Amino acid sequence: MGITRSFFIALSNNRLLNSGAKKWGFQLGAAKVVAGTDIPNMMASVRALNEDGISATIDRLGEFVTSREEATQAKNEIIQTAEAITEAGVDAHLSVKLTQIGLDIDEQFCLENIREIAAEAEQRRIYVNLDMENYEHLQPTLDILHTLREEFDSVGTVIQAYLFRSEQDLDALQNVRLRLVKGAYQESEQVAYQSAEEVDSNFLKLIKLRLDQPVFTSIATHDHHIINAAIDYVKEQGIPNDRFEFQMLYGFRTDLLKELSEEYQVTSYVPFGKDWYGYFMRRLAERPQNIQLVLKGALSK
Ligand code: FAD
């Protein structure tokens, strides 16, 4: 793992900078990858995506929340986002990070919050994805998912290909809608593959295992090698197009996503809100070339 990746991941975890960023406003080119700081601005972006045949999964930014007030406010805003999806009549669903709604405070409190969100979403026929955060939060997230699945069908989660245990998790989640990703956090060699080659090879293995199962899968990556290999597999095996989709993050490889939308279902992950800093730093960590976004953003002010 390069020093640049570690550097940006360290920045993403810096609480002082996180709270500072909320006050500085929308700086440093974040506007290129974050769809505004409020619901109306975000909805305008979602409508534009829908017009191009692209669905959206909406993430009200925020994570590593430590106060109940902040967690409750986040829960309320996620519910408002669900209401806004129905009101605007857009093709969109929700992505939620459990640390934003209290996972680090009290698991029971977090469960009550996500249960409220899931109930509201189900009533509106909106799917809810539990985003996967760092390793420390993996098992608690899966535990909450299992509890939720006893009450709601339309809830799923994410499998990170860099983790050794992911094949087992994938197997245990055969009836659950899943998003497959490489993994965005810095994890230890005790639990995760460290080289890009190993992560890519496990990612492709998991994609194939999952495409063989009759359940919906989102393949979330900007990596055209992986996308092309997945398409080859789908064609070879005659896997129907309604069993999977491709997902990319808002602002990245938009042309490729549009091209894919001509043949396949596609979804853009649309983050919005004031708490953009950690998300933005992780994007820089993944691909230091994204630093161009910072420079262009700063220069265009
Ligand atoms: P990379 O490994 O970043 O890139 C591989 C290759 O693809 C590059 O070498 C380059 O050739 C090409 N490429 C990549 N980006 C570009 C670009 N912008 N322009 C041109 N070529 C490019 N992670 C989690 O841990 N939990 C989650 O819940 C989660 N949800 C996600 C949801 C979505 C929709 C997406 C897309 C990602 C999500 N991630 C999540 C992040 C994910 O784990 C990876 O960290 C991130 O997607 C970077 O890996 P990659 O597969 O896009 O390819």
Q: 230 in ligand 1 pocket by Cβ < 6 Å?
A: no
- For the stretch 211-242, pLDDT in tens is 999 999 999 999 999 999 999 999 999 999 99
User: Which residue among 13, 128, 181 has the greatest number of ligand 1 atoms within 8 angstroms of its CB, and so is best to mutate?
Assistant: 181
The token pair at 89 is 């009549």
Single-letter amino acid code for the residue at 221: T
Q: 221 in ligand 1 pocket by Cβ < 6 Å?
A: yes
Q: 220 in ligand 1 pocket by Cβ < 6 Å?
A: yes
Stretch 259-264: mean pLDDT, rounded? 98
Pairing of strands 128-130, 244-249: unpaired
Instruction: Give DSSP secondary structure letters for 102-164.
Output: TTTT-HHHHHHHHHHHHHHHHHTT--EEE----GGGHHHHHHHHHHHHTT-SSEEEEEETTBT
Stretch 251-262: mean pLDDT, rounded? 95
Q: Where are the beta strands (DSSP E) in the chain?
A: 55-60, 92-96, 128-130, 155-160, 178-181, 217-220, 244-249, 266-272
Stretch 28-39: mean pLDDT, rounded? 82
Angle between the N-to-C axes of helices 291-299 and 277-286, in degrees from 0 to 180, rounded to the nearest 10: 130
* pLDDT at site 215: 96
Complex ipTM: 0.99
Distance between CA atoms of residues 129 and 102, nearest Å: 16
Active site residue 131: yes
Longest dimension (CA), the chain: 52
Span 35-275: which CATH code?
3.20.20.220
Q: pLDDT band at residue 277, thresholds of 50, 70 and 90?
A: confident
Residue nearest to atom 43 of ligand 1 (CA): 183
Decide: residue 94, CB within 10 A, 0-12 exposed, 13-18 middle, 19+ buried: buried
pTM for the model stands at: 0.91
Whether 268 shows a pLDDT value over 70: the answer reads: yes
Tell me the percentage of the chain whose pLDDT exceeds 70: 86
Catalytic residue among 59, 104, 131, 169: 131
Tell me the percentage of the chain whose pLDDT exceeds 90: 77
Whether 205 shows a pLDDT value over 70: the answer reads: yes
Tell me the CA–centroid distance for residue 69 and ligand 1, in Å.
Answer: 32
Distance between CA atoms of residues 277 and 280, nearest Å: 5
* pLDDT at site 284: 77
Q: pLDDT band at residue 140, thresholds of 50, 70 and 90?
A: very high
Whether 298 shows a pLDDT value over 50: the answer reads: no
Distance between CA atoms of residues 114 and 129, nearest Å: 11
Residue nearest to atom 11 of ligand 1 (CA): 223
Stretch 30-54: mean pLDDT, rounded? 93
The token pair at 229 is 């290999």
